[in-house]
Structure 1
Amino acid sequence: MASISRTAAKLFYYARNFARDRAPQSLFRDRLANRLEQARLSGKTVRERLNYYNKLEQPFVPSLDAMAVGKLPTASSMYYYDLKEFARYFDPGLLIDFEFGDVVGVPELPRIVKDRPIGDDNANGVLMKLNKFRHFYMPPDKLSFADKRPMVVWRGHLNNPLRTRFVEKAAELPICDAGSHRADAPDGYRKPFLNIEQQRQYRYIVSLEGNDVATNLKWIMSSNSLCLMPEPTYETWFAEAQVEPNVHYVPLRQDFSDLVDKVAYFEKHPAEAGRITAAANAYCRKFGNEQDEQAISLLVLYKYFVLSGQIKPDAEVWRYIAG
């Protein structure tokens, strides 16, 4: 049933964005001033989040490879649609630097990206909520922590040493159901595919970064299962750097030598597990406030275009951004 609902949502996603592309784009540009005024009336949280995603403070010049808003490439369609959803409110001739896909380093010049390394020097990676259909799927979980299987689960592609190390460790532990469902997984590491609903039947779900961020982190933290993971090194619109150990998730060592002890502790202290899952659920809820999400997205781009010297800032809106 969940897969049917997900497929229907995907069809709606494409239909809605296709319709937006076919509509006269001037209709969106005519609404920019009103949308910015509405965003300006948002509270402190919106301003803090937009300035976290877009940390730029100094003027800059777009690169020679920058593309016009009206000519963004459609090949990576979900990335295209998610960026164009808000870029279409601006003049189609404005230039924008962006990088679709997994970004493993900080760009040399300011670019719109889905993710960036966590750190104080990552301002050139300007975060937008890209590929959000995949990365921000957080279906409700009706199964309580107590009613879940008292085991650890993980599924994924063995595309880095961290994941391989975890599966090797988990193979020794009867409390773990961990492996890869992919055909290219080594013998002994291959496990049957488990969808999100099936994985959420376990009390403990491990989140491990892959090429960049761990895609499953969002739906784990929005569930009633306990998230276990090493400290993240990449962040997206989810602001993984602000996800706190022992508050929103259970931290694990890089060698996973503490996994058994952590599970044993929470089996004896379910109230502690409930405290963490409740905090994780609360963290996730802000991403469901569509009014705030849209305001922040628009302001992130607005700030980018102002600092690139391509549009003159509205005094009131800029005063709001500057705080």
Structure 2
Amino acid sequence: MKVEKEYKFFLYLRGYYNSIFANYKEYLSKKEYLLSKLSDEEISMCYDRKQYYNKDNFSFRDISSEYTIDDLRNIKSPTSYYIDTFEYARYFDKNYPIRFVFGDVDFVPKEHAIVKSRPIGNDNGKGILLNLDRQRHFKFIKNDIAYAQKNDILIGRLSIRKQHRIEFFKKHFNNPNVDIGHVKKNGENAQWFKDRLSYKEHLNYKYILSLEGYDVATNLKWIMSSNSIAVSPKLKFETWFMEGKLRGGEHYIEIADDYSDLDEKLDFYLNNPKEALEIIHNANEYVKKFRNKYMEELVSILVLESLYIS
């Protein structure tokens, strides 16, 4: 089993390189190169995703903003959000204005802005999604063990801060079908402390708990790339991963918001392995487009193009 991810050292190296060798106004050559690497079907998917991310077809060209694209390069303490935005914004005119709301965004901005996350819904278009903080969120599993070889219970290790996570622990910490733990040894809720587990240790289990935190659950993406199944209430937030397109019973096991049917759902899939394997297949297929480097780069270029050129 292998985890495909970017390490922080390479994140900051990428940010430093891009800040020095900015390719302002060269987006067309980059776009043409990426188009040449993809099939017509893949290109069509990229344009569909661009529309999903910038739902309102909003343009930054004429907005009033305190920041320009070039300002992203000059942030004294660069974070992954600035680095990931500048990765593709650097292909456009450095004097173009830009507006962003970085961090865990669980609301729709009052004005159109680039965000990592937004609530799922029809009225969320003012949040324009880019693939931000991807070093933390976009990790995928390669060469996992077969579903049938995994243990039958639900595993979960997470930090308990939000009330909905506390409620899950109150209800299911002593459930024999569940092995969950709070990974913070000191402070509140220390009675639920258990040691952290590696990816490999999580993947010894058929079911992995994926509860949203301040916005999306960080582990959902890598679970869906594995031969385990994510267990979650109906999703409320989305990122570049387009969580709003995921369906309970198709891509993950959906449980009630009050967690009351957890045992019932686990029993069903334990007794119906064909349905469990179908979820794994659907989840793995869904993840494939996010593992295609050329598609990911093209969609990012297309989103920025829609903000400045179209």
Shift of 1:18: 1.8
Alpha-carbon contact 1:98-1:113 (below 8 Å) kept: yes
Indicate how the Cα distance of structure 1 residues 135 and 279 shifts in structure 2: closer, same or farther if over 3 A, else same: same
* Count of residue pairs the alignment pairs up: 302
- Mean Cα deviation higher: 234-243 or 267-276: 267-276
Q: How has the CA–CA distance of structure 1 residues 258 and 205 changed in structure 2, closer, same or farther, with 3 Å as cutoff?
A: same
Give the letter for the 1:150 counterpart.
Answer: D
Q: Partner of 1:159 in structure 2?
A: 161
Q: Give the match for residue 310 of structure 1.
A: none
CA distance in 2, matches of 1:175, 1:88: 50
Equivalent position of 2:124 in the other structure: 122
Give the match's secondary structure for 1:293.
Answer: helix
**Selected match of 2:272 from 258, 269, 272:** 269
Higher mean Cα deviation, 161-170 or 81-90?
161-170
Q: Partner letter of residue 158 of structure 1?
A: I
Identity of aligned residues (%): 35
Distance 2:65 2:217 in 1: 30
Could you tell me how far 1:179 is from its partner in structure 2? Answer: 2.0
Instruction: Report the CA distance between 1:265 and its aligned residue.
Output: 1.3
The 5 A counterparts of 1:83-232 are: 83-183=85-185, 184-232=187-235
Q: Retained in 1: the 8 A contact 2:151–2:205?
A: yes
Give structure 1 stretches of 5+ with no counterpart: 307-312, 314-323
* Alpha carbons 2:68, 2:95 under 8 Å: kept: yes
Task: Classify the secondary structure of the residue corresponding to 2:81.
Answer: helix
Further displaced range: 211-220 or 32-41: 32-41
SS class of match (1:139): strand
TM-score (norm 1): 0.87
Unaligned runs of 5+ in 2: none
**TM-score, structure 2 normalization:** 0.91
Distance in structure 1 (CA, Å) of the matches to 2:138 and 2:58: 31
User: C-alpha separation between the residues in 2 aligned to 1:190 and 1:62?
Assistant: 51
Aligned twin of 1:320: none
Alpha-carbon separation, structure 2, partners of 1:34 and 1:227: 40
Whether contact under 8 Å (1:138, 1:222) holds in the other structure is: yes
Structure 1 stretch displaced more, 134-143 or 40-49: 40-49
The C-alpha deviation readout for 1:268-323, integer Å capped at 9, x for no partner, is: 111211110111011011101111111110110111123xxxxxx4xxxxxxxxxx
Aligned residue runs from structure 1 range 7-156, under 5 A: 9-23=7-21, 25=22, 28-29=23-24, 31-38=26-33, 43-57=43-57, 64-72=64-72, 73-156=75-158
Match of 1:316 in 2: none
Kindly provide the CA deviation profile for residues 114-166 of structure 1, in whole angstroms up to 9, marking residues without a partner as x.
00111111111000000111100112242111111111111111121211111
What amino acid maps onto 1:202 in structure 2?
Y
Asked if structure 2 preserves the Cα contact closer than 8 Å seen for 1:222 and 1:280, the reply is: yes
Q: Counterparts of 1:201 and 1:186 in 2: how far apart (Å)?
A: 26
Quick one: which amino acid aligns to residue 13 of structure 2? A
Q: 2:89 and 2:155 mapped to 1: Cα distance?
A: 40
Cα distance in 2 for partners of 1:13, 1:60 equals 27
- Does structure 1 retain, via aligned residues, the 8 Å contact 2:160–2:182? yes
Alpha-carbon distance in structure 2 between the residues aligned to 1:245 and 1:30: 43
Change (3 A) 1:295 1:259: same
Structure 2 match to 1:285: 288
Instruction: Work out the CA distance in 2 between the residues paired with 1:254 and 1:141.
Output: 33
In structure 2, give the amino acid aligned to 1:145. Y
Looking at structure 2, the residues matched to 119 and 153 of structure 1 have their Cα atoms a distance apart, in angstroms, of 30
Paired amino acid for 2:98: I
Q: Is the 8 A contact 1:141 1:224 kept in 2?
A: no
